[in-house]
Chains A and B, each alone.
Chain A
Amino acid sequence: MYLDLHTHSVSSDDSRATVEQYVKWVGVLRRRGWQIDGFVLTEHRKFDHDVDYSTLARDNDVLILKGSELDTSHGHFLVYGVTEELTDRVDFSHVGLDAVCLMRAADECGAIAVPAHPGRFGVGLYEYYDGADLSAVRVVERLNGSNRPGEQERAEELIQRHGYAGTGGSDAHLVSAIGTCMTRFDQEVSNEAELVERLKAGGFRAVRLEDTARGGDCDH
């Protein structure tokens, strides 16, 4: 199945898309022949335990999961499987979180923290191999739909050097950007806990929208 693991709705300060509009756009993509099963909302520096998209998701046959994108000492991290225990332990609004502590806390709380757009200038992990113990990093966001020239190459270099597994996400801030990069999972994912399980176990890869045409799947 294909999931966009990195999207922002109007709940993020710099996004202009509503969740309902993303769902409509998923319909547009499907009518155009692309495969997309759902997306994860990774709002900047926050997590809302109460917001519930299950009806919208069910009515439109779109999986809508919730995560977060946090600002750390080692660039931005996507956090999946956020629990109340994790939000109690970590101040999501803090723009200088210790990345190593975040990864540990996430793991201890049944979540996973994954470096977002690792090749990005300024806020990608690529620039922060400064002696900190980054051995907990196993997965990074390989394909990001908002990369600028040079950033994808840095991400690839990092992945090759360290042997990381790679996800894909559009980093959509506008409706029409959703799904431009996604993650293809070999097994079904139906909730946040399963997403964490799959990301820890392997069996996924980063794809671009073009790769999702039926019969046209190819590796990156």
Chain B
Amino acid sequence: MTSPTLYFDDIEIGDDIGPIERAVTHPQALDFIAVWTGDDRPTRFSDRDTAVSEGLAGPIVPGIMTMAFISSLLTEWAPGGKLAMLDVVFRQVVLHDVQHTLSGIVTDKADDRPEIQCDVFLQDPQGTRLIIGKAALELPAKGDL
């Protein structure tokens, strides 16, 4: 980890987080599924035909895999920070092999503890927000609040 520590004291409401780019390749999705379920039966997450039969454009990235990416967006932005909460809405599906942009914006700072809240987004190349949500991150503080 090379990024410097980000302190609660240095954050302002309105600060941008990221963006970072992420594309989940089909093999990466399969690797994740192996860790998640260990089941190699075809599903909407792993198999094109199954996905298409369910009305999807292709196999999709599991929601909890995208949550892990959003988590890493935050912890890479704030090394030493702890993700206290992540709450997302899966508005539209995330397809394999598409470059998506993850970003966030700081929306609140707690008065009584070194915790920030932020909105988080995962959007497709057209700018459509496929996943939206909010997160709470505990950060190191320089002194007592």
Contact = CB atoms under 8 A, between A and B. Distances in A.
Interface residues of A, number: 16
Interface-central residue, A21, A25, A32, A174, by most chain B CB under 10 Å: A174
Nearest to B107: A175
B126 to A, nearest CB: 8
A21 B89 contact: no
A83 to B, nearest CB: 32
A21 B117 contact: yes
B128 interface: yes
Given A16-B87, A28-B13, A175 B128 contact: no
A39 to B, nearest CB: 15
B44 interface: no
Nearest to A27: B13
Given A21-B108, A175-B119, A16 B134 contact: yes
Given A14-B89, A21-B117, A28-B13, A175 B132 contact: no
A149 B105 CA distance: 24
A150 to B, nearest CB: 12
Interface residues of B, number: 14
Given A14-B89, A175-B119, A149 B107 contact: no
Contact of A174 (B14, B119, B126): B119
Nearest to B109: A24
Interface string B73-94: 0000000000000010100000
Interface in A137-194: 148-149, 173-177
B128 A149 contact: yes
Contacts of B132: 173-174
Contacts of A173: 89, 132
Interface string B101-139: 000010110000000010100000010100011100000
Interface of B: 13-14, 87, 89, 105, 107-108, 117, 119, 126, 128, 132-134
Given A25-B107, A177-B119, 9 more contacts: A14-B89, A16-B119, A24-B13, A149-B128, A173-B89, A174-B134, A175-B107, A175-B108, A175-B117
Interface of A: 14, 16-17, 21, 24-25, 28, 31-32, 148-149, 173-177
